Amino acid sequence: MQRPQRVRPTAIGAFLLLLGLLFGLAGPSTAREPEGPVLLIEIDGAIGVAAAEFLDKALGEARARDAPALVLRLDTPGGLVTSTRVMIKAILASPTPVILWVAPAGARAASAGTYLSYAAHVAAMAPGTHLGAATPIALGAPPSPSREPGRDGEQAPTGDAAERKVLNDAIAYLRSLAQLRGRNAEWAEAAVEKAATLTAEEAAAKGVVDILAGTVEELLDKAHGRKVAMAEGERVLDLRGRPVETLDPGLRLRVLQAIADPNIAFILLLIGVYGILFEFWNPGTFVPGIVGGISLFLALAALSVLPVQMAGIALLLLGIALMVAEAFTPGIGILGIGGLAAFAAGAFFLFDPAAADFDLRVAIPVLIAATGVSALLLMGVLGAAMSARRRRVVSGAEAMLGAEGEVVAWDGREGRVRVSGEVWAARAARPIPPGTPVKVVERKGLVLDVEPLEGRSS
């Protein structure tokens, strides 16, 4: 009779562990409800790098504090395409539900704001707001392409292929977000192709947004109990009665948001360049150099987050150089006119409008004012300063240089001369007869170094 084999304890432990895992998978799973407060951030103005950083920072804070939702209160005319896509990717990958709320009354979610609304887990609007007009600004006016009969009898689109490519890409992108969130995909296409817009009430009626709410409390009350699709699965929002905490972007992001405006960045760039130039022309004053240096660094920080065209920078520098050259020549000639033309063209082409879905250009009034001020400073003030520098000194020790006089008495290599009605001790390289006209070439204390004027005698 064989002896029964013992079952090893490790095998028993492995079996029990496997059994526990199977029961765990088969049994109901209950997800832990988030316990933190609802976080709120506010983005006003154009969508840019600062807004994208702020959203990323807020989503990280929401994860760390176990927030049940992040409310993004939005009021924007549009923004940079790259920053908008970064924000949409962050929302889609977020483990925290994002509620986008177009508010307060009078706010808008145009262009980039429409894309963000479609990407959010919950889209809401306050009464008196609107959204839409999502046509890429690089196409100019909303295109309505002409159509010609195709072989199958349908109308085939004609027009520029590049424009249609950009348009179709934008349409597909917004439709994909609409299908992901179960919102109106047909109107999404109209918002891009026809620059369609909707009021808050119309957007709610057409299924473009989910909620109409005038206050944060109303927003959370209406969002409570809604099912939202997250990356890890479906989640039911538990928001009623939750405390709301507003996050501050911080000084750095506030400054970056302010200087990232194309007009502000352009003005800072001019102040920086002119401040440095005037400090070089008049060293020792320090104020133009300090102000110019700070402004230049702020401008460089702004230009690093804006789509800058190098041709625009080159034209600006060429225009400034030509106007500086004109300041060294009398009158206003071809250098000054060419400098003004190059400067204005550089300001107009400084930023790439195709990189944003709103008008990313220096405003025409700012451009005209900057060109006029530049011409006044560089060709007027600088020209006057250079003329004054070339003018003969009329006081002090330097006033004696080049002055003419007459020898009163002389002995060997020293003597006395009369200059400007005064008698001075003088020296020369050789003896000079009395009465000989002389010119002062140097002054050392109370002694003048002189030399005779050739071809002239007393």
Confidence of residue 279 (pLDDT cuts 50, 70, 90): confident
What pLDDT, in 10s, does the model give residues 29-47?
344 567 789 999 999 999 9
Range of the domain at 384: 261-390
In this structure, are 86 and 116 located in the same domain?
A: yes
In this structure, are 351 and 266 located in the same domain?
A: yes
CATH of the domain at 123: 3.90.226.10
Residue 221 lies in a domain: yes
Residue 205: partners with Cβ closer than 8 Å, 6 or more residues away: none
Among 207, 225, 250, the domain-final residue is 250
In this structure, are 385 and 401 located in the same domain?
A: no
Whole-number Å distance between alpha carbons of 383 and 380: 5
Mean per-residue pLDDT of the chain: 83
The predicted pLDDT at position 141 comes to 39
- Pairing type for strands 122-125 and 98-102 reads parallel
In this structure, are 170 and 268 located in the same domain?
A: no
Select from 8, 15, 209 the least CA-distant residue to 120: 209
| Residue in the block written with tokens 């625009």 | 312
Confidence of residue 380 (pLDDT cuts 50, 70, 90): low
Residue 233's region, left for phi above 0, alpha for psi from -120 to 50, else beta, is left
In this structure, are 128 and 242 located in the same domain?
A: yes
The predicted pLDDT at position 400 comes to 79
In this structure, are 270 and 333 located in the same domain?
A: yes
In this structure, are 176 and 227 located in the same domain?
A: yes
Among 341, 373, 390, the domain-final residue is 390
What pLDDT, in 10s, does the model give residues 123-177?
999 999 999 999 876 544 344 444 343 333 334 344 467 778 888 999 999 999 9
Residue 457 lies in a domain: no
The predicted pLDDT at position 10 comes to 54
The predicted pLDDT at position 397 comes to 62
What pLDDT, in 10s, does the model give residues 62-88?
999 999 999 999 999 999 999 999 999
Residue 457 in this model has a pLDDT that exceeds 70: no
In this structure, are 220 and 279 located in the same domain?
A: no
Burial class (CB in 10 A: 0-12, 13-18, 19+), 264: middle
In this structure, are 347 and 422 located in the same domain?
A: no
What pLDDT, in 10s, does the model give residues 291-333?
999 999 999 999 888 899 999 999 998 988 887 777 677 655 6
Neighbours of 53 (CB within 10 A): 20
Q: What is the pTM of this model?
A: 0.70
Residue 309 lies in a domain: yes
Residue 282 lies in a domain: yes
CATH of the domain at 432: 2.40.50.140
What pLDDT, in 10s, does the model give residues 405-440?
999 999 888 999 999 888 999 999 889 999 899 999
The predicted pLDDT at position 233 comes to 87
Residue 24 lies in a domain: no
The predicted pLDDT at position 330 comes to 60
Averaged pLDDT, 376-391: 60
Spacing of C-alpha 247 from chain mean position: 23
What pLDDT, in 10s, does the model give residues 184-204?
999 999 999 999 999 999 999
The predicted pLDDT at position 22 comes to 39
Q: Number of structural domains, the chain?
A: 3
The predicted pLDDT at position 7 comes to 44
The predicted pLDDT at position 148 comes to 40
In this structure, are 94 and 166 located in the same domain?
A: yes
Residue 3 lies in a domain: no
| Residue in the block written with tokens 């106007």 | 323
What pLDDT, in 10s, does the model give residues 51-69?
999 999 999 999 999 999 9
In this structure, are 104 and 189 located in the same domain?
A: yes
In this structure, are 367 and 403 located in the same domain?
A: no
Residue 273 lies in a domain: yes
Q: What is the DSSP string of 252-309?
A: HHHHHHHHTSHHHHHHHHHHHHHHHHHHHHSTT--HHHHHHHHHHHHHHHHHTTS-B-
CA angle 403, 404, 405 (to 5 degrees): 125
Residue 149 lies in a domain: no
